[in-house]
């Protein structure tokens, strides 16, 4: 929410929020949308929701065989190059990821690739959010607590159902 205030105060300018549906899958197949500036203030409500309104895909840009098998890239393409071209075309300068170790590592690999192969710069800002709680040195990631609570509710429901009648 601070960035909306900074934008209004004239401290930052030229901001565009582009969201790629289903994460890296959306980057590879070009499925994204730009959030209208008129909607930015209401986005704070997303802080109180679990999961992601844009979905996820469990895609590794460094696993070319899997990306080809799933139809995200053509046989003669590499996922890193396709993703790099998409971010360059969409004029993405900051890639904000929300996920675990794989998500953030893939973003770092993509940023490095863009720098080395295209002389471009994409800054990665990673928000560790994973039910695995596997992002070192973060003690507890977003998502891990929610997963534990939902697991406990699920278990209570099973016990309740199995002990009924």
Catalytic residue IDs: 132
What's the CA gap between 139 and 121, in Å, rounded?
30
83 touches 110 (CB < 8 A)? yes
What's the CA gap between 7 and 110, in Å, rounded?
28
User: Residue 148: CA atoms inside 13 Å, Cβ hemisphere, count?
Assistant: 9
What's the CA gap between 16 and 91, in Å, rounded?
10
Matching residue, tokens 């070319």: 64
Token code pair at residue 22 = 């289903």
Nearest CA to 26 among 90, 72, 89, 68? 72
Token code pair at residue 91 = 């004029």
């Amino acid at each position: 929410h601070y960035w909306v205030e900074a934008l209004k105060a004239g401290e930052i300018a030229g901001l565009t929020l582009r969201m790629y549906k289903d994460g890296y899958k959306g980057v590879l197949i070009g499925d994204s949308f730009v959030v209208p500036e008129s909607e930015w203030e209401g986005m704070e409500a997303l802080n109180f929701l679990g999961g992601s309104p844009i979905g996820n895909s469990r895609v590794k840009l460094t696993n070319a065989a899997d990306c080809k098998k799933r139809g995200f890239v053509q046989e003669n393409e590499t996922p890193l190059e396709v993703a790099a071209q998409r971010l360059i075309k969409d004029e993405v300068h900051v890639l904000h990821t929300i996920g675990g170790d794989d998500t953030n590592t893939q973003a770092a690999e993509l940023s490095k690739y863009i720098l080395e192969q295209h002389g471009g710069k994409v800054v990665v800002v990673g928000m560790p959010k994973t039910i695995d709680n596997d992002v070192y040195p973060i003690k507890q990631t977003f998502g891990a607590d929610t997963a534990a609570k939902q697991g406990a509710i699920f278990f209570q429901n099973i016990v309740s159902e199995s002990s009924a009648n």
